[in-house]
């Protein structure tokens, strides 16, 4: 596993059509901010980069297994999740005929930024919520009691103040006008 380099220059690989190059890189990833909370990212096995020489360019694939540690979005206890991420990018040998928006921002002049591409893959593979357990009940919206520990004494029908005006709206069924 290479620990010194986090960039791969595709032109240095001298691959011919159909050939493949693969290597793993140990990288450190900065914390990812989710919902305003910082989550630490650990990548014990590093990022694997595979490059295939294909017609018109290169197909670059990164794969990474990451552990994410941060607060549960429901109860704020420590949560740890595992993420398996893969991302592919096509890198044309010539930019002619390609719009700048069609090219990867992580690959410039055929140089792959392994750290940035690996981070992008992890972020895209994250679930919509980081939770300590799927059955986590969260916190009471009124008193803040951890509902995983026990039920609080708040009335079950307590509504947030900003929604109380909706109780006064009475809609009547009316036939559609023609």
Q: How confident is the model at residue 168 (pLDDT cuts 50, 70, 90)?
A: confident
Report the C-alpha dihedral over residues 68, 72, 73, 75, rounded to 10 degrees. Answer: 180
Helix (H, G, I), strand (E, B) or coil at 103: coil
Burial class (CB in 10 A: 0-12, 13-18, 19+), 23: middle
Alpha-carbon gap, residue 51 to 65, rounded angstroms? 18
pLDDT in tens, 108-148: 888 999 999 999 999 999 988 889 999 999 999 888 889 99
Rounded to an integer, the average pLDDT of 41-50 is 94
- The answer to whether residue 159 scores a pLDDT higher than 80 is no
Phi-psi region of 55 (alpha: psi -120 to 50; beta: other; left: phi over 0): beta
Whether the Cβ atoms of residue 15 and residue 58 lie closer than 8 Å to each other: yes
Q: Is the pTM of this model over 0.85?
A: no
Alpha-carbon gap, residue 85 to 65, rounded angstroms? 6
pLDDT in tens, 14-27: 888 899 999 999 99
Encoding tokens for residue 112?
């792959």
Q: How confident is the model at residue 157 (pLDDT cuts 50, 70, 90)?
A: low
């Amino acid at each position: 596993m290479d620990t010194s380099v986090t960039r791969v220059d595709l032109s240095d690989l001298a691959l011919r059509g159909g050939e493949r190059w693969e290597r793993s890189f140990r990288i450190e990833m900065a914390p990812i901010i989710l919902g305003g909370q910082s989550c630490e990212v650990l990548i014990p096995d590093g990022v694997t980069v595979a490059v295939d020489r294909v017609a018109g360019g290169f197909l670059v694939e990164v794969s990474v297994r990451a552990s994410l540690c941060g607060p549960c979005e429901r109860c704020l206890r420590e949560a740890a999740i595992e993420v398996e991420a893969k991302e592919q990018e096509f890198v044309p040998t010539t930019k002619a005929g390609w719009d700048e928006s069609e090219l990867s921002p992580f690959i410039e002049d055929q140089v792959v930024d392994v750290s940035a591409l690996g981070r992008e893959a992890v972020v895209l593979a994250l679930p919509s919520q980081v939770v300590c357990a799927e059955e986590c009940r969260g916190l009471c919206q009124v008193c803040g009691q951890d509902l995983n520990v026990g039920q609080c004494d708040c009335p079950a029908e307590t509504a947030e103040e900003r929604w109380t005006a909706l109780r006064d709206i009475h809609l009547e069924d009316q036939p559609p006008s023609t």
